[in-house]
Amino acid sequence: MYFIFYHNYTADGCKKVGDFKDALSSDIEVSVFSATSKSVILRWTRVYGASSYKVIAAPQNSPGNPVGYAVFGPHRVMGTINSLSPNIMYTFTVAALDNAQEILNIGTIDSSSEVTL
């Protein structure tokens, strides 16, 4: 069994997870496409003007200590986070970045879910 916890982060919470600057809004829609015992595939809505997307995974009980992150190009709306542990509650955050690596928009999922493998 693999537990996933989705939690809304404020801009300050995201700074703890990935050194993000204040976000303009929380309009990126994020969802879990699929999950395995060690990875999650997330999908998100595209943001106009984004040059990349940074995705961060952090344990719900330790949000300041991310365990995985990945950066994806501007045309990607889906990506994998690897090296996760089973039976851990995670928070997943997606940030759309511009060419200067400034945040255009940020999103998380605001509900909890359980995925059985």
Structure tokens, 112: 């909890």
Compute, in degrees rounded to 10, the torsion defined by CA atoms 62, 64, 67, 73: 140
Distances (CA, A) of 97 to 28, 31, 55, 64, 109: 12, 19, 11, 20, 18
For residues 18 and 53, the answer to whether their CB atoms sit within 8 Å is no
For residues 117 and 34, the answer to whether their CB atoms sit within 8 Å is no
The predicted model scores a pTM of 0.72
**Which H or E run contains 108?**
strand 103-108
44-97 per-position pLDDT tens digit: 999 999 999 999 998 888 878 888 889 999 999 999 999 888 888 888 999 999
| Structural domains of the chain, with CATH | 2-111 (2.60.40.10)
For residue 27, what pLDDT is reported?
77
